[in-house]
Amino acid sequence: MRILVLIVFGLILTACQGTNPYGLTTASVGESVVSSASGQAGTGVTPVKGIKYVSLHPDRLLRDERSCTEIIKLSYASNINYSEAIIGLRNRALLVGGNAISIIGWAESATSSGLVGKIYLCKKKPFHIHY
């Protein structure tokens, strides 16, 4: 019986090593992943549509609010300024379904800035600042 189970298990593993039905290939080390890309990436952070519904609050207020649930804690670092870092965090909050953010850590140097923020989903926000 054990031999039959091992044979069936081996056949299943062999079937998983079949051909690629989509014709996809893996990139070699050092090879460009997107070889037909053209254009230049924009500079700065662009707010996404609907960002006005994501508000910035003190973390303590969001943690104490019963209608708010923390979705994710996110570390974010780049060579952008403070306002663009906040816009980037608000963009990410909108993309993961959050509607409130808080900043719990901040670091800055001459060439870059970084933050640690939390993204919350609140049914009822404690207060709202309109931008």
Tens-place pLDDT, residues 76-124: 777 878 888 889 999 999 999 999 999 999 888 877 788 899 999 999 8
What is the chain's percent helix, strand, coil content, to nearest 5?
30, 25, 45
Work out whether strand 100-108 and strand 55-56 pair parallel, antiparallel, or are unpaired: parallel
φ, ψ of residue 6 in degrees (nearest 5): -65, -40
Q: Is the pLDDT of residue 22 over 70?
A: no
Q: Is the pLDDT of residue 43 over 90?
A: no
In this prediction, residue 9 carries a pLDDT of 56
| Block residue for tokens 């060579």 | 79
Instruction: Name the residue ranges covered by the structural domains of the chain.
Output: 48-131
Residues shown for the chain: 131
For residues 131 and 128, give the distance between their C-alpha atoms in angstroms, rounded to a whole number. 10
Angle at 65 (CA atoms; ends 115, 76), nearest 5 degrees:
10
For residues 59 and 66, give the distance between their C-alpha atoms in angstroms, rounded to a whole number. 13
Q: Which CATH number fits domain 48-131: 3.50.50.60, 3.40.50.300, 3.30.1660.10, 3.40.190.10?
A: 3.30.1660.10
Helix/strand/coil (H/E/C) assignment for every residue in 20-78: CCCCCCCCCCCCCCCCCCCCCCCCCCCCCCCHHHCEECCHHHHHHCCCEEEEEEEEEEE
C-alpha 124 chain-centroid distance: 24
**pLDDT grade, residue 20 (50/70/90)?**
very low
